[in-house]
Structures are given as structure tokens and as C-alpha cells.
Amino acid sequence: MCGLLTFVSAHGIAGVHRDHIADALENLHHRGPDDTGVETFGDSPGGDVVCGFKRLAFIDVAHSHQPLRYLDRYLLTFNGEIYNYIELREQLRRECGAKFETDGDGEVILAAYHHWGLETALRRLRGMFAFVIWDKVERRAVGARDPFGIKPLHYLLTADGLYLSSEKKALMPFAASANAGNIGIDHANLSHYLTLQYVPEPTTMQLGISRVECGQAFTYRPGEPVQLSRYYRADFRPAPVADEQALYKKIEDTLRESVRLHMRSEVPLGCLLSSGIDSTAVVALAREFNPNVLTFTVGYDVPGYSEIDVAADSAQHLGVQLIPTKIGPQDMMEALPRIVWHLDDPVADPALVPLYFVNRTAAQHVTAVLSGEGADEFFGGYTIYREPLSLHSISSMPDGIKRGLKSVANVMPEGVKGKSFIDRGTVPLEERYYGNARIFSEAEKQVLMRHYDPSVAYTDVTAPLYAECAHLDDVTRMQYIDLYTWLRGDILVKADRMSMAHSLEVRVPFLDPVVFELAATIPTELKVTLRGNHTKFALRQAMRNIVPPAIVNRRKWGFPTPTRVWLKGDMYEWAANILARSGAGALIDLGYVRKLLDAHRKGEADNSRKVWTVLVFCVWHAIFVERSIDPRPKPAESALLTKPVVQRATW
């Protein structure tokens, strides 16, 4: 929910920037069309901060407007939901004598910060959030992002002060102003994007604009550097289980309680439903609290890709209504510029497209939906997590023997049975695993990139994470890597941007600190097993009597997209035209990509993911660099703004 844009002046003259903040805030109108607030605050004659806010109202709809004052000392802008705010409110009243003037969750954050301090408050919040608080007594801004990175928070530090925003696009006018109109591209992040299909935190594709990382808090005093600190680190600690059935029951009960809390709202909620166990479990538990909950799914008229039939069977079994959406290649081509604009940075996951459309349908019926993101990272759901088990016969050998096997594999012709198995088994996990997406290899990027830098590698992203989880087994280490790369770089960006594009909120009950504390203790043998090719074994057992029988052991799909099929036919000319017209040729050899596209069309290789990755970047480049495409929605008018009609800042 909601979009924030806060400016903290380095010179106590925030007020002179108010109109610019109000203009830039309109870039976030889709995040909160219910209400707009822009306020200058602070004891300096010119004001210390300007806080802008776009509200999508869920709790205490009639009140809890933002920016929100507390004790005439603090001013808050807050994006997200605190699901245990009722319990925290009572605790603050009982233990601290806290007073409240609203019934919302934002005031609970302020009271918790005032009475408990930032660290203690953050440890007690149960929800998704990104917030900024200006404390006029301490003359500092503080804030944080939730433990798993569900809600975004970008920042830009200039000579004028600190700008913070829910989306990067609202910061770009100020970045351009600070750099004489030129916002450079981060070439290292372009390299990472071409490998990982997303830009890894904490930086962005544009130099100078960064992200507060998941589980991070910040402090900023005017004129000083931003101080970042990590208040939360996922601590996996798998341990033997004496009573498996008791564990399964505890998983069921913990998820049920999380779903119950996530359904707190004064406006209608629904659920996204695919063909897998994650979303089906959420729907099954949600209908216990609302038997009339609406569900939404998406599919295509392409054999082997649509999940609508399976989702319909699950909905019928659970007794809930399903509202399906079908899309075709024309929908995909027309929507891509708007999708990329909402993303801020390119993300080359084709699943963005079906998510965009299913959320558009859901927004016509409800204001928020529950979804199943996070179950794979918490409970061990990706098929590749079985790899350490299958490779154990080689990876456990002495190093000398592995070196010998590696030498043999090096002289084996490509495609010979066993070569790949030996290659993978003789390479350390740190070198062979860097997340779920593996698009272009280093050798391919040498040809593809105009400014290839061999010193930039994916290990720049993963090496610090591997150091943090060195004590864990290989399966759990893979979970940890994905939690801090794939989940926050791809999965949650998709969830947030494709829902907020339609002023719809996505809530993710699996991504709850209490759920994680339980999932973190599950031993590896109850997460993945080669027997029966199971993933998320403990979760499946816990949900066995909750979800339809056909779903218990069904493999993960997650809104697949027939990009491979469409790029051979309906989308071929469209893709070729993008490559021919793109201005990104100074960065990428688009002729090389055209050869990949043609080979894909002829069936010589499946290059769909590689081609799609470059196409998304070309569209991004056209929007944010060339400015030859402008898919932005029209500016919204707001009586709270200083101008009768808001004029967008140009960039």
C-alpha cells in the first residue's frame, strides 16, 4: 500500500523544495490514489523536511492520514502494513502509558519508536514496511525496511539533502538536477542484470540512486552521510526433529495464524491462486476466515502453459469463486512498456506479464490480495535445491580425486552423458550456484557487452552472502543465497510493482518473521529429498489435510509464460523491430541478439530467456535513457498540492 517521497534538507530550507516534491510525488499516484498529503515540518525557519504521501487506505480509513504527526515531535511517512498493530498498541498502552489519536498502524510505529527506540521497535513489528520518521528534537531522520524486503525504499543523497522514495522514478528529477541532467548507467549492474535477470541490491541501474536493503535501518543527520545498519539477519538453524507430526501441526498452526493476521483490513481482500501448493494453501486457510473470499488466476490458450484448469479444480474443491484471466501475445507486447515503467529497473522475468494482468483483474474486485511468495525460500521449494543431494557422490570425494575427474570432464565432448554431472559435482557450490536465474554466461557477455569488464562477476554479489552462511549445509546455503538475491531482487519486485501498478496491495503470509523462525529449524531431509523428487516436504505434509489431494505433491509452476512459443511466431517481428530501433546498441551488440532471435525462431536453440532479457533492457533504455517511449499514466490532480494541475518534473 501507499507511496512515500520524503526530502530531508541539509540546510534547513526544505520548504523551497515543496512544489518539486509535490510534482515528483505524482509519479507514485498509482501506489495510493485514495489520498495525497504533502507537508513541511521542522523547527528550522525554512523547514527541515518535506514529506509527500500517496495513500491506499486499508485500516482506519477515515483517519490515519499521512504524513502523520505524533506528539508534535515526529512526522512519519510509512508504506506497508503492521499486522500485529492491535497487540502492540495494547502493549504500549499497558507498559508505557502511550496515547493514541488514531486507530491505525502508522501511529503504532511512532509510539514504538518513541517509547522503545528504533531497534526494539523493529524487532517487535510483524508486517511489511518501509518508513521514514523525522525527529525534530534529535534533528535526524530514521527509518527502516522490513526483514525480507517486501516493500521498497530508495534513496538519493545530494548536496541539498537526502531524498527517500518508494520508487526510483520519483527520485530521478532530483538525481538529474544534481548531475546537470545526466544520470549515468551503472555498467557493473548491467553486467549483473544480464546474468541474474535483475539488478541486485543495494544499488540500482542508475548511478547515485541506491536502496535501503531488506532488514536494514538508517539514520541521517542533515549534512552528514547516511548511516545504515542491519537489524535483521535470517538465521537458518536446521536441527533434528524428534516428532515429525508435531512439527507438521506446528507449521499448519503457524501459517493459519499468519494468514489470519494478514487478513486484517477494512476493505475487501482476495487471493491469487496458481496450480501449486503455496498459493493453494493460502487460499485454503484464508477461506476459513472468509468463506466468500474471491480468488484470481491467469492463463493462456497455449497447451502446456495455462494453470487455469488446475486452479479451477482447486477452487471448486475449496468452495471458493475463481475469476480467471486469459492473455495472448498481443497483450504482452502492448503492456510491456507500462510494466517496465513500473519496475524502475529492468527485471527480465516473463512472469511479470501474467502477474500484471491477474492483478489488474483482481483490482476490479478487491483492494488487496494474499499470495504465496516466500514459501520456496523458507521451506526449500526449488527443484535445484535437490542438486547437492544428487551430486553428493562426487562432491564428497577428496579434492585430489575431484581434480582428476574434472580433468577428464574437460576433454569430454559436449553432450556426452556424465560430463555435466562431473562438471557440477567437482565445482564448489560458491562457484556454481548464484541463484535461480542464469541468463548469459561470462563468455557470452564478452561478445554481448560493448564495455565488458572481466573484473565484474556474480561472485561480487554472492561471495559476502556465502561467507555469512558458511556454517550451513549446501541446501540451506542455497536457500540463504536465494533469500538475499532472488527473493528480494526478482520475486518481491514483481509482487510489489505489478500489484501497485493497479493500486492493489499484495500480502504475503509466508514472509512473516514468526513463520521464518519455525521454517529455519527444519532439517534438510524434511525440505528436499531425492526419493519421490520432493521439495518443501515438511510444508506438503503440513498442508496434506488442508489443500486438495491433487495439489499436495504437484510440482511448482508459478504462472509460467509461453514466451518461448510466441517469440517464434506472433512476437517475432515485434522483437526484431525493438532490436532494430533500440538506442541501447552503444551498450549491447544488438546484432548478436538478433542472431539469437533468429536461431530461436528456427528451432536451433531455446534462446527465449536470453532474447527476452535484452528486449526488456531495450524497452527500459527507451523509457529511462532515450526517453523515446513515455508509458506514464496521466498526472493526477490533487487539491492538496500547491498547483491546481500538477506538472510532472521532466527527466
Q: Which residues are catalytic?
A: 2
**Spatial separation of the C-alpha atoms in residues 599 and 601, rounded to whole Å:** 5
Contacts of 28 (CB under 8 A, 6+ apart): 3, 4, 5, 54, 165, 166, 167, 169, 170
Partners of residue 14 on adjacent β-strands: none
Phi–psi pair at 225, nearest 5 degrees: -65, 160
Q: Are the C-beta atoms of 38 and 170 separated by less than 8 Å?
A: no
- Residue 388's nearest CA partner among 549, 529, 219, 247 is 529
Q: Contact, 5 vs 163, CB < 8 A?
A: yes
Could you tell me which residues are beta bridge partners of residue 54? 3, 36
Cα 481 from Cα 461, distance rounded (Å) = 10
* Rounded Cα–Cα distance for residues 19 and 10 (Å): 18
Residues in the chain: 651
Rounded to an integer, what distance in angstroms lies between the CA atom of residue 196 and that of residue 439? 6
Q: Residue 583 is placed in which grid cell?
A: 538506442
Q: Residue 312 has which C-alpha cell? A: 479451477
User: What residues are designated binding site?
Assistant: 105, 272, 298, 371-372
- List 210's β-bridge partners, or say none: 155, 203
Closest CA to 218 of 137, 132, 156: 132
CA distance 628 to 622: 5
Helices (H) and strands (E) in the chain, counts: 29, 17
DSSP states along 510-571: TS-HHHHHHHTT--GGGT-BTGGGBSSHHHHHHTTTTS-HHHHTPPP-SS--THHHHTTTTT
DSSP category for residue 9: E
- How many angstroms separate the CA atoms of 545 and 484, rounded? 32
**Residue 320 in grid coordinates:** 471458493
| CB-neighbour burial class of residue 94 (10 A; exposed 0-12, middle 13-18, buried 19+) | exposed
DSSP state of 225: P
Paired with 157 in beta bridges are 162
Q: Are 345 and 168 in contact, with CB atoms under 8 Å apart?
A: yes
Strands across the sheet with 140-145, in order?
Answer: 68-70, 74-82, 127-135, 140-145, 216-220, 227-230
Contact 635, 33 (CB under 8 A): no
Phi, psi at 370, each rounded to 5°: -95, 145
Residue 426 CA: distances (Å) to CA of 423, 469, 524: 6, 21, 22
The alpha-helical segments, DSSP class H, found in 117-186 are 118-124, 172-178
Backbone dihedral region for residue 650 (phi beyond 0: left; psi -120 to 50: alpha; all else: beta): beta
